[in-house]
Chain A
């Protein structure tokens, strides 16, 4: 990866923890090179000021669509990720093409993450990533439960449940400074 460009893009800071974010992009790049994908399509659910866009566009040469419920984050598609109208807008932009990298980082409630995965994963045949798979894992009573969905996904892979057998799971996590964690599901 072009580290000089990466360092330059780190200001203003994206809503990502540097070591995890850097390795995530490195792994995406390795994957795209391996599969000879030159212009990947990246969809980000929950795009927080759309600051990750420039990384995808400039480092991975991607076509990026950010979806967010808040206009203040300047998303490409404004609305709730579960709203059928939002899905329709995305499908229009995709024009029948599949997503290469899907980054799920909208609502962090267990049920919402699960629904995002169920709605959007059929549109992606490559990499599906989840942000915050480690956040609040050891703190009881918090609503952020992406970790619960991630663990469930892992159990399904372990059991060899139909539809989960070919998935490769990669998790990236550094405690100090962020305690967020990125989980990657590599389909192919």
Chain B
């Protein structure tokens, strides 16, 4: 990875923990090189201030589409990720192409992240990442339960994700308000 560019982009302080984010991007780059994907399509559900956009665009030359319910991050598609109109807008932009990297970071309650996964994962044939798989429940975050469930599902006979590689990246964080973050990564092929 272009480390100088990465360091420069980090000055904009994305909503990501440095070591996990760095390793996640390295994994993405490894995957894209392995499959010779030159202009990947990246979709981010829940983009906060859209600070991750420049990483995908400048490091990978990606076509980036963000979806968020809040307008302050200037998302490509404004709306709830569960809204059928939002899905329609995304499909229009995709024009039948599949997503290479899907980053799920919208609603953090169990049913929200589960629905996001069920809606959007079929549109992706590459990497599916789930953010905050280690966040404590007390901050209204159930992502870790969904992540564990997903891993268990992959063990069932005929599971669609039986051949997928599950990777979790996690480091302790000092700031008390978001001590644990963690990125769960599923590489489908």
Contacts and interface: CB of A to CB of B under 8 A. Distances in A.
Interface of A: 19-20, 23, 26, 30, 34, 138, 154, 157-158, 160, 164-177, 179
A73 to B, nearest CB: 28
Contact of A168 (B23, B136, B154, B163): B23
Contacts, number: 69
A176 B172 contact: no
B170 A169 contact: yes
Given A160-B172, A170-B168, A175-B159, 4 more contacts: A138-B155, A157-B171, A170-B170, A173-B151
Nearest to A176: B162
Which secondary structure characterizes the binding site on chain A? mixed
A84 B179 CA distance: 39
B20 A179 contact: no
A170 B23 CA distance: 10
B96 to A, nearest CB: 29
Given A30-B26, A173-B165, A165 B154 contact: no
B165 A23 contact: yes
A24 to B, nearest CB: 10
B23 A175 contact: no
Given A165-B172, A167-B171, A169-B171, A174 B165 contact: yes
A171 B20 CA distance: 12
A23 B186 CA distance: 13
B165 A168 contact: no
A15 B26 CA distance: 26
A179 B23 contact: no
Interface string B113-155: 0000000000000000000001010000000000000011011
18 contacts: A19-B165, A30-B30, A138-B152, A157-B171, A158-B134, A158-B136, A158-B180, A165-B174, A166-B172, A167-B172, A168-B169, A168-B170, A168-B171, A169-B169, A173-B166, A174-B165, A175-B159, A179-B155
A157 B170 CA distance: 9
B166 A154 contact: no
